[in-house]
Amino acid sequence: MKYLTEFRDPGLTRKLVQKIENMADKEITIMEVCGTHTMAIFKSGLRQLLPHQIRLISGPGCPVCVTPQSYIDTAIQLTERQDVIITAFGDMLRVPGTEGSLMAQKSKGRDVRMVYSPLDVVQLAAENPQKEVIFLAVGFETTAPTIALSVEQAKKANINNYSILQSIKTMPNTMEELVREEDIQIDGFLCPGHVSAVIGVKPYRFLSEKYSLPAVIAGFEPTDIIMGIYHILDMLDKKESQVRNEYTRLVTEDGNLKALEMIERVFEETASVWRGLGSIEGTGLRLRQDYESYDTVKKLGIQAAPEQPAKGCICGEILKGKVSPLDCRLFSTKCTPETPVGACMVSEEGTCAAYYRYKPNH
Ligand code: SF4
């Protein structure tokens, strides 16, 4: 399989690891800002291959994990209404709210449905005109274009019983927020591959230009990731800071213009609340005025639930890379993938779920 096997080349990976070993003369902390990278790193055993001086920390790159508890609580409250159908991607159903989860609501007979695409939800709305059909719009720049398309399609087809509960987040300003936090030491970033395929390279330039930090956009195969780490060390070694694109088979300088246009037509930038990070200006997307009638909160005139973090859960600190799941006293005891206490244990891309599954010792 061309374009795949060459990125799983053990010989090349070993050579790169050797080079990394030669360069790693002090502790280097690299944050990967993508849940898929986190999973790929664990799955391929890269942490064990790398010298101990290379500290990999996971950032807020799992969409389910960064969605605040108040959002889940609001969605759960909505399920109590007889006139709504709640739809969401599968992982969202299992995230615990303050009391219960959407899955628990479903088992009580509330109308909660798992979907694969918001476009299917528009169809569902067309088939259920007597109900308000709500999609839980959670995700990053990667899912935003399809959500935008669903809203445009609903408007074009005059389907007025479709709306979205908004919690779409964007990455670059969030990374800047992490860089600004005084007690987080980050020496370089592995930029999120999927998000980069949409937004391109340019939005990360501030990392090198403003903060002199090296950053690499990398793919998800083991050689991709090792190559990304190697490039970060190479830049640190040469005292250079750049944003290097090692995922050129998918990521371009300007990104996916069609997808970006789609986002731009329907959404505008806004502040967004992140689990553990609070509200950060310029890290969310909200519907533009022309599409406001598709905003669940405005349409139904509901009050968002207050934020009440799960007791004992330190997901927020984990998402900032400050601590590891092994520092959580609930990890693997009270909190497991079968009985998740916090969102980081729910999604396959969550750091706690990855630690539970692959059992690293640091
Ligand atoms: Fe939260 Fe569970 Fe992770 Fe602890 S192990 S931080 S309770 S998700």
For ligand 1, mutation pick of 38, 66, 72, 314 (most atoms within 8 Å of CB): 314
Is 138 domain-assigned?
yes
Residue 267 and residue 149 in one domain = yes
ipTM of the modeled complex: 0.99
Tell me which of 224, 245, 266 is where a domain ends: 245
Residue minimizing CA distance to atom 5 of ligand 1: 331
Q: Report the residue count for the chain.
A: 362
Strand pairing class (112-114; 84-88): parallel
Residue 22 and residue 135 in one domain = no
Q: How far apart are CA 187 and CA 27, in angstroms?
A: 9
Which residues of the chain have a pLDDT value below 50?
none
- Exposed e or buried b for every residue in 331-359, given b needs 16+ CB within 10 A? beeebeeeebbbbbbbbebbbbbbbbeee
Q: Which atom of ligand 1 is nearest to the CA of 346?
A: 8
313 lines ligand 1 (CB under 6 A): yes
Please report the pLDDT score of residue 1 as a whole number: 54
Is 329 domain-assigned?
no
Residue 120 and residue 237 in one domain = no
CATH code assigned at 212: 3.40.50.11750
Is 326 domain-assigned?
no
CATH code assigned at 156: 3.40.50.11740
Please report the pLDDT score of residue 304 as a whole number: 82
CA of 327 to the centre of ligand 1 (A): 9
Residue minimizing CA distance to atom 3 of ligand 1: 352
CA of 334 to the centre of ligand 1 (A): 9
Residue 92 and residue 131 in one domain = yes
Is 12 domain-assigned?
yes
Range of the domain at 84: 64-170+257-300
Identify the residue whose tokens are 């992982």: 91
Residue 21 and residue 144 in one domain = no
HSE at residue 254, side-chain half, CA atoms within 13 A, is 5
318 lines ligand 1 (CB under 6 A): yes
Q: How far apart are CA 309 and CA 316, in angstroms?
A: 9
Please report the pLDDT score of residue 183 as a whole number: 83
Residue 155 and residue 296 in one domain = yes
Is 251 domain-assigned?
no
Residue 187 and residue 118 in one domain = no
For ligand 1, mutation pick of 330, 333, 356, 357 (most atoms within 8 Å of CB): 330
Please report the pLDDT score of residue 355 as a whole number: 94
Q: How far apart are CA 231 and CA 16, in angstroms?
A: 10
Please report the pLDDT score of residue 278 as a whole number: 87
Among the listed residues 181, 171, 182, the one whose alpha carbon sits nearest the alpha carbon of residue 215? 171
200 lines ligand 1 (CB under 6 A): no
Q: How far apart are CA 151 and CA 145, in angstroms?
A: 10
For ligand 1, mutation pick of 64, 311, 315 (most atoms within 8 Å of CB): 315
Residue 70 and residue 159 in one domain = yes
Is 204 domain-assigned?
yes
Residue 147 and residue 289 in one domain = yes
CA of 352 to the centre of ligand 1 (A): 6
The tokens for 158 are: 């005059």
Residue minimizing CA distance to atom 7 of ligand 1: 313
Residue 195 and residue 171 in contact, taking contact as beta carbons nearer than 8 Å: yes
Strand pairing class (132-139; 162-169): parallel
190 lines ligand 1 (CB under 6 A): no
Residue 11 and residue 127 in one domain = no
Identify the residue whose tokens are 């569902």: 124
226 lines ligand 1 (CB under 6 A): no
Residue 78 and residue 153 in one domain = yes
Residue 140 and residue 160 in one domain = yes
Is 86 domain-assigned?
yes
Please report the pLDDT score of residue 4 as a whole number: 60
> What is the model's pTM?
0.92
Write a three-state SS string for the chain.
Answer: CCCCHHHHCHHHHHHHHHHHHHHCCCCEEEEECCHHHHHHHHHCCHHHHCCCCEEEEECCCCHHHHCCHHHHHHHHHHHCCCCEEEEECHHHHHCCCCCCCHHHHHHCCCCEEECCCHHHHHHHHHHCCCCEEEEEEEECCCCHHHHHHHHHHHHHCCCCCEEEEEEEECCHHHHHHHHHCCCCCCCEEEECHHHHHHHCCHHHHHHHHHHCCCEEECCCCHHHHHHHHHHHHHHHHCCCCCEEECCCCCCCCCCCHHHHHHHHHHEEEEEEEECCCEEEEEEEEEECHHHHHHEHHHHHCCCCCCCCCCCCCCHHHHHCCCCCHHHCCCECCCECCCCCCCHHHCCCCCHHHHHHHHCCCC
Number of domains in the chain: 2
Is 134 domain-assigned?
yes
Q: How far apart are CA 358 and CA 220, in angstroms?
A: 17
Please report the pLDDT score of residue 182 as a whole number: 83
Among the listed residues 84, 16, 79, the one whose alpha carbon sits nearest the alpha carbon of residue 50? 16
